Chains A and B, each alone.
Chain A
Amino acid sequence: MTTKYPRHLLGSLLVATLVLSACGSDDDAGGDNTDTTADTTADTTTNTAGDGDSVDAGGSITVYTGRHYGIEPVFEEFTADTGIEVRFTTGNDPELRERLIAEGANTPADVVMTADAANIELSAEADVLASVDSDVLTETIPEELRSEDNEWFALSQRARVIIASTERVENPPTTYAGIGDPEWDGKLCLRPSTHPYTQSLVASLIIAEGEERATEIVQSWVDNDPLYINSDTDIYNAVADGECDVAIANTYYLGRLLTEDPDFPVEIVWPEQDGRGAHVNVSTAAVTANAPNPEGARALIEWLATDGQKQFADANFEYPVDPDVEPNDIVAGFGEFSADLAAVRQLGANQPAAVEVLSATGYE
C-alpha cells in the first residue's frame, strides 16, 4: 500500500531524469559521436562515424591528454592539415592511466598524451601501449627521448632548473646539491612532494647519484627549511617578492612571466652543466594497445614530431625534441644548455624510490 506513492513519484522522477539526460546528450551509453572535435567549437555536435565502425579515409581519433594547457589549437591545426578529426578529453595523468587500464580492450582512446615521463612509463608497464614502428619518429626523435621499444615518444622537453633573484643573489648555486648549502637556510622555495615535477627531479638524482647520495641531497634541502609552494608561477613570484632567494622551477613559466613583464627580476641558472646536465622531463604521446584507429593515432604523433613540432613546443614555451627545430625566441633567450637526457627513460622506474626518499627525509 505505502509503496504506491513512491512508485508514483519515482515514476515521474525517473521519466524526468530520462528526458533530461536524453535531450542533453545523445550518447548516453558511450556512443561514438564527436562532441569536442578540434575543428569545431565544443558546443556543436558533429556526428561522425556510427558506433563501432572506425574510420574511413580521414576518420577521427580519440585522445586522452594529461597535457591540457593550450592543446586545442594544436589539434585544430592537425585537423586542418590532415583531415583527421580529433576528439579529446583532458585529465590528470594518473587518472587517465587508470581509465585506460580499466577500459582495456574497450577503450575508445587511440592516443594517450602525458605531461610527464614517469606516468607514460607506468602505462607502458601496464601493457596498455602499442609499440610503433615509424621511420619518421625514430629519425626525428633522439633515441633517449623515446622508450626502448618505441612504446612512447617525447614531443617536447622542459627543463627544471635553479632560479635565483637577480637583485639579491650574486653567486647562485650551480648544482642541485648546491641549494642544500646552509647559505640558503630559510631562503629556499620548493614545490611540494605531491607534484610529479618534484618526484621526477628526485628520480633523476637517484639515477645519477644513487639512492643514498640522493637522500643526503634531499635531506640538505629539507634542512634549509624550504617554503613549499604548489605552483611554479607562485614560486617565481616568491623569488621576485623576496620570500626566497633561490628555488627550483621549470623554465617555461618564466617565458610566460617575461611576456607580461620583461624586467622580471629572476634569472635562470642552468644546473649540472659540468656534469650530466639539467634535469629535463618530457611531454609524451603513445598509441594505445587497443586503439580503434592506430593509423590515425600514429599520424597524429608523427605530425606532432614534425610539422606540428614547433607549435606544440611553443604553445607552452617548451623545448622541441627535434634538435633541428628552433625553440621560441623567449625560450632561446634563456641560453644554450646541456640536458640530462640519459635519465629520461628511467624516470618512471625510479619514481617509487623517489617518493620513498621524499617521505624519508620529511620533504613536505
Chain B
Amino acid sequence: MTSTITDAADLVPHEPGAPTTGNGGARTSTVSVIGQQARSWTTTAAISAVAIAVSVPVLVIVWSIVEPSTEVWEELWATRLPGMIRDTATLLATVLAGTLVLGTSLAWLVTAYQFPGRRVLGWLLVTPLAIPGYVLGFVWLDTLQEPLGARSVRSIWLCALVLTITLYPYVYLFARAAFREQSQRSIDVARSLGCSRTQAFWRVALPMARPSLAGGAALVGMEVLTDVGTVRLFNVSTIADGVLRVWFGTGNRNAAAELSVLLIGVAIVLIAMERLARGRARFTQSGSRTGLHVERLRGGRAIIASTIGWGVFTIAVALPVYRLITWAIEARRTDQTATVAGDLGFHLMSSLRVAAVATLTCLALGLLLVAGLNRRRRSGALLARMATLGYTVPGPVVAIGVLVTLAAIDRLGWLPDGWLLIGSFIGLIYALVVRFLAVAYQGIESSVGKVSPSVVASARTLGAGRFRVATRVELPLAGAGIIAAAVLVAIDTLKELPITLILRPFGTETLPIWVWQATSESLWVQAAVPSLAIVAVGMVLVAALLWALEHGAETVS
C-alpha cells in the first residue's frame, strides 16, 4: 500500500501486449518477475511455515467461535452490543471521511499550488504520524476540559477529531504521492477539453488517485477499529473496547475472543470495500515523470493556503508538543519523575531495540512473503491473507493469542532447560511481527506491483535474466517503497503499548510503558517526558520516511 507514495511515475496507457487495466492482474503475472515463479519445495515450505507461524495466534482466537458463549452473546445483544456497533460505525465513518477530506485536500494544496511555506509544510504535515493517539488524546482532553467543560469534552466527535488529526497523514502521504506521480499531460488534456483547473482536479486528478486514497483509508480504518487507547479516554465504547470490557470485567476470555472475531469480520468488510474502491484500476509507472505544473497563489489566496496548512500543523503537532514541554518542565521542577524504574536513556534504548529488531524482522519476512508467494494462486492468496490477519485484531487480543501459543510451545519442553519463550525478547518480537507484518507486507507488495510490466518486459527482451531483472530493475524501482514500509512499521512498533505491556521481558521498559505507568494514574505531568521522547524519535523516523520517498522519486526520474 505504502508504495503509492513512492515512485515517480507517469500514467501510461498500457502498450499493446502489456495487460490492460481491465484484467491486469492475471496477465501481469506473465511479466513481473518477483513472486511469480515456480520454485523449490524448500522455499515453498519455508514461506508456508512463516505464514502459518504468524497466523497461529490469531487463529487460536478465531477458534473460540467453535463453541460460542451463547449466553454472553444474548446478554451483550440485549445490552451493550448495539451501542458498540453504533459507536464503531460512527467513529469509523467520521474518521474515514475526515482523514480523506483533510489528507486529500492538504496533499492537493502542497502539490498543485505555490504559496509561502509550501515546501516545509509539505514535510511538516506528515509529522502527526509521530504522535501516538493516546498521547494526543490526553493532551487535548486536558487542554479542552476547561473551556468546554468535562462533560462535553468527552464525546465521540472529539474522539473522532483526535483520531482524524493523528491518522490523516496516512491518506495525505498516499494522496501526495499519487498527485506527484500524475503527469501534467493528463491535466492538460482535461484543460484543453474545457475543464477549469478545479474541474480537472475533480474529474482527472482525484479519480486517478483513487486507488492510493483507498489504500490510505484502509490503513486508517484498521487503526480506528483496533484502537483501545484513545477511545477509552473519551468514553467511546467501540467493539475493540468491548473486547477488553468483556475479558477484563468477567474474566471470560472466550467471549472476548468471539467478540474480536466480529472485529475481524468488520475488518474484512473494510478490506473488501477498499478493493471495490480501487476498482480494477491499475496505474503503473513508466519510469519518466513530468509532474504537475504548480500554480502560484498570490495575495489573499496565498495567505489562506498558508493559514490552512499551518493551522492543521498547530493543532496536530505544535500545540500538543508545547503542552508536553510545559508539563515536562513542571515535572522536572517539582521532581515528579521518580515513579518509574530507570531513566530516560534506559527507556529510550529499550524502545529503540524493540522497534529496530521488530522492524527488521517484519521487513525480512515481508520480503520473503512477497518474493515467495504466488498470489495469483488461491493458496498463495490464502497464505498472504493469513500472514496479515494480526493487523485486524487489537493489540491486547494479539498478545493473548501469542501468550497461549508460546505457552503451548514452552510446555513441550523442546527448548534448553530453563529457557522459555514467554517473557523472552524473541516472544515479544514474535508478537509484534504477528501484529505488524501486514504493514510491511502490503507496502512491499504494492511497491513491487507498481513497477510497470512494460519495464520488466523490456528488460527481459533485452536479455536480462530473471534474477538480474529482480535485482537491477524491480527492487531499485520499489526500493524506496520498501524503506517507507519499514519506517511505517518502525513508527507503529515505537508507539505500541498493549503487546509490549503484556509480553515484555524483564529489563525491557519502553517509552510507551512509562507513559502508561503515569497515565493509568492520571498523572499527565509525569507522562510528558516519555511522550516527548516518543515524538522525538517518531520525528526522526518521519524524516527518514520522507527522505525515502524523495529519494525514490529521484532514482526513478
Please list the residues of chain A having a beta carbon within 8 angstroms of any beta carbon in chain B: 1-6, 9-10, 13-14, 16-17, 20-21, 24-25, 27-36, 41-43, 45, 51-52, 62, 68-70, 72, 87, 89-92, 94-95, 97-99, 102-106, 108, 122, 189, 192-194, 196, 199, 227-234, 237-238, 241, 243, 351-352, 355-356, 359-360, 362, 364
In the bound complex, CA of A232 to CA of B360 (Å) = 41
Contact B466 A43 (CB under 8 A): no
| 25 contacts across the A-B interface (CB closer than 8 A) | A9-B364, A13-B367, A17-B360, A27-B424, A28-B425, A29-B421, A31-B418, A33-B506, A35-B505, A36-B341, A43-B345, A89-B506, A92-B501, A98-B403, A103-B407, A189-B150, A192-B232, A228-B235, A229-B154, A232-B522, A356-B75, A359-B80, A360-B78, A360-B79, A364-B235
In the complex the two chains form, is A51's CB within 8 Å of B244's CB? no
Bound Cα distance A140, B406 (Å): 40
Residue of A nearest to B142 (CB): A234
| Nearest B residue (CB) for A244 | B150
CB-based contact B367/A6 at 8 Å = yes
Is B507 within 8 A of A192, CB to CB? no
Considering only CB atoms, which chain B residue lies closest to A72 in the complex?
B341
Whether the Cβ atoms of B418 and A51 lie closer than 8 Å is: yes
Binds A, one of B16-24, B259-267, B384-392, B467-475: B467-475
Residue of A nearest to B252 (CB): A352
* Chief secondary structure at chain B's binding surface: helix
B465 to chain A, nearest CB (A): 7
- Decide: B251 and A243 in contact? CB cutoff 8 A: no
Whether B399 and A95, one on each chain, are in contact in the complex, defined by CB atoms closer than 8 angstroms, is yes
**Cβ–Cβ < 8 Å partners of A90 in chain B:** 513, 517
State which of B31-39, B95-103, B186-194, B199-207 sits at the interface with chain A.
B31-39
Would you give the shortest CB distance from A280 to chain B, in whole angstroms? 19
Shortest Cβ distance from A102 into B: residue: B407
Q: Most A CB atoms within 10 A — which of B80, B418, B421, B517?
A: B418
B349 lies within 8 A of chain A by Cβ: yes
CA distance A362 to B252 in the complex (A): 20
Chain A residue, CB-CB nearest to B76:
A359
- Whether the Cβ atoms of B420 and A194 lie closer than 8 Å is no
**Chain B residues, Cβ within 8 Å of A17:** 357, 360-361, 364
CB-based nearest A residue for B235: A228
Chain B positions within 8 Å of A62 at CB level = 506
Given A230-B233, A355-B249, A27 and B425 contact (CB-CB distance below 8 Å):
yes
- Nearest CB in chain B: distance from A234 CB, A: 6
Is B52's beta carbon under 8 Å from chain A?
no
- What 8 pairs between A and B have smallest CB-CB spacing? A35-B507, A42-B342, A51-B418, A43-B346, A52-B418, A231-B522, A102-B407, A359-B79
Nearest CB in chain A: distance from B346 CB, A: 4
CB contact list, B285-324 vs A, under 8 A? none
Given that A4-B467, A95-B501, A243-B149 are known contacts, is A25 also in contact with B368, CB under 8 Å in the complex? no
In the complex, the answer to whether A69 meets B248 with C-beta atoms within 8 Å is: no
Contacts known (A16-B360, A194-B241); A6 close to B371, Cβ less than 8 A: yes
Instruction: Say how far B169's CB is from chain A's closest CB, in angstroms.
Output: 27
Query: Measured between C-beta atoms, what is the minimum distance from B250 to chain A in Å?
Result: 5
Contact partner, B507, options A2, A9, A42, A91, Cβ 8 Å: A42
**Given A2-B467, A13-B363, A41-B342; A25-B505 close (CB under 8 Å):** yes
Q: Are A1 and B37 in contact (CB under 8 A)?
A: yes
CB distance from B466 to the nearest CB of A (A): 5
A69 to B371, CA, bound (A): 48
- Do the beta carbons of A5 and B470 come within 8 Å of each other? yes
In the complex formed, the residue of A with least CB distance to B403 is A102
**Does B364 lie within 8 Å of A13, measured CB to CB?**
yes
**Interface presence of B404 (CB below 8 A):** yes
Stretch at the interface among B105-113, B118-126, B409-417: B409-417
- The reply to whether A30 and B505 form a contact with Cβ atoms under 8 Å apart is yes
Decide if A29 touches B349 in the complex (CB within 8 Å): no
Q: Which residues of B contact A16 (CB under 8 A)?
A: 360
Closest residue of chain B to A227 (Cβ to Cβ) is: B151
Q: Is B404 within 8 A of A30, CB to CB?
A: no
What are the residues of chain A within 8 A of B247 when measuring CB–CB? Answer: 94
Q: Bound state CA distance, A312 and B275, in angstroms?
A: 57
Q: A30 near B422 (CB under 8 angstroms)? A: yes
Residues in chain A near residue B368, CB distance under 8 A:
6, 10
Are B423 and A28 in contact, CB atoms less than 8 angstroms apart?
A: no
Residues of chain A within 8 A of B245, CB atoms compared: 193-194
Docked complex Cα distance between A233 and B509 (Å) = 26
**Do B410 and A103 have beta carbons less than 8 Å apart?**
yes
Is residue B419 contacting chain A, with contact meaning CB distance below 8 A?
yes
Q: How distant is the Cα of A108 from the Cα of B505 in the complex, in angstroms?
A: 11
Cα-based distance from A1 to B471 in the complex (angstroms): 11
Is B396's CB within 8 Å of the partner chain A? yes
Of B342, B353, B421, B521, the residue contacting A20 (CB under 8 A) is B353
Q: How far is the CA of A249 from the CA of B247 in the complex (A)?
A: 24
B72-86, CB under 8 A of A: which get 1 and which 0?
A: 000110111000000
From A14, A21, A94, B248 is in contact (CB under 8 Å) with A94
Most chain B C-beta atoms within 10 Å of own C-beta, residue among A4, A27, A34, A192 = A27
A43 with B420: in contact, given A28-B425, A194-B248, A232-B522 (CB under 8 Å)? no
B551 within 8 A of A: no
Most buried by B among A2, A99, A194: A2
Contact A106 to B501, CB < 8 A, known contacts A27-B425, A28-B424, A122-B251: no
A99 surroundings in chain B (CB, below 8 A): 403, 422-423, 502-503
Q: Please give, as numbers and ranges, the residues of chain A lying within 8 Å of B466 by CB-CB distance.
A: 1-2
A104-B411, A356-B75 known; A43 vs B471 contact (CB < 8 Å): no
Could you tell me if B505 and A42 are in contact, using CB atoms closer than 8 angstroms? Answer: no
Cβ distance B3 to chain A, nearest Cβ, rounded Å: 17
